[in-house]
Amino acid sequence: MALKSAYDDLRQRTLGKIEGLWGKLYYFADRRSPEGGYEHWGFERVHGTAAAQETFARAHQLVLGDILRTRISLLQKDLEHCSQAEGINPASYVSKLKESQSRLLPSDCPKMTKLHLVSVLKTLSILETRPRSDSPDASQLPQLDQ
């Protein structure tokens, strides 16, 4: 018998060890089966299949909601931390997220939520592939007259 609720167990023992919002969202995408359910043998063994599915779906929705309510500048910083934890550059990390886009979304996700996530990922992709203001290429960009 579990001593913690399924949600508390997932939040504290699993999600608490994953770097950043993007890392947590990718974790849920990675647990998704082709049919749309979540696969985690140990969690199901402790809490039961129905509770595991419900808990993962709820937590997935909450993490996605947190991302969609967060300012893009903070999401970019989170992307940098998550990519560093994975040992890849931020542009590669956001590409990995974009490739997993359909699994990043919970089942039966509203179309507007999907469009919002797509726009956030596209924005981050643009931000991570453009020249930085401190790079030599940035000095060649046209300056706006003020």
Domain that holds residue 53: 6-129
Number of Cβ within a 10 Å radius of residue 51:
17
User: Tokens at residue 32, please?
Assistant: 């998704």
Domain count, the chain: 1
Residue 57 lies in a domain: yes
Residue 11 belongs to a domain: yes
Q: In the beta sheet, which residues pair with residue 32?
A: 38
- pLDDT value for 43: 93
Answer whether residue 141 shows pLDDT above 60. no
Residue 82 domain-assigned?
yes
Residue 138 domain-assigned (yes or no): no
Model pLDDT, residue 4:
76
8 Å CB contact between 66 and 4: no
Residue 83 lies in a domain: yes
Residue 141 in any domain: the answer is no
- The pLDDT tens digits of the residues spanning 15-57 come to 999 999 999 999 999 999 988 899 999 999 999 999 999 999 9
Position 145 in a domain: no
Does residue 61 form part of some domain? yes
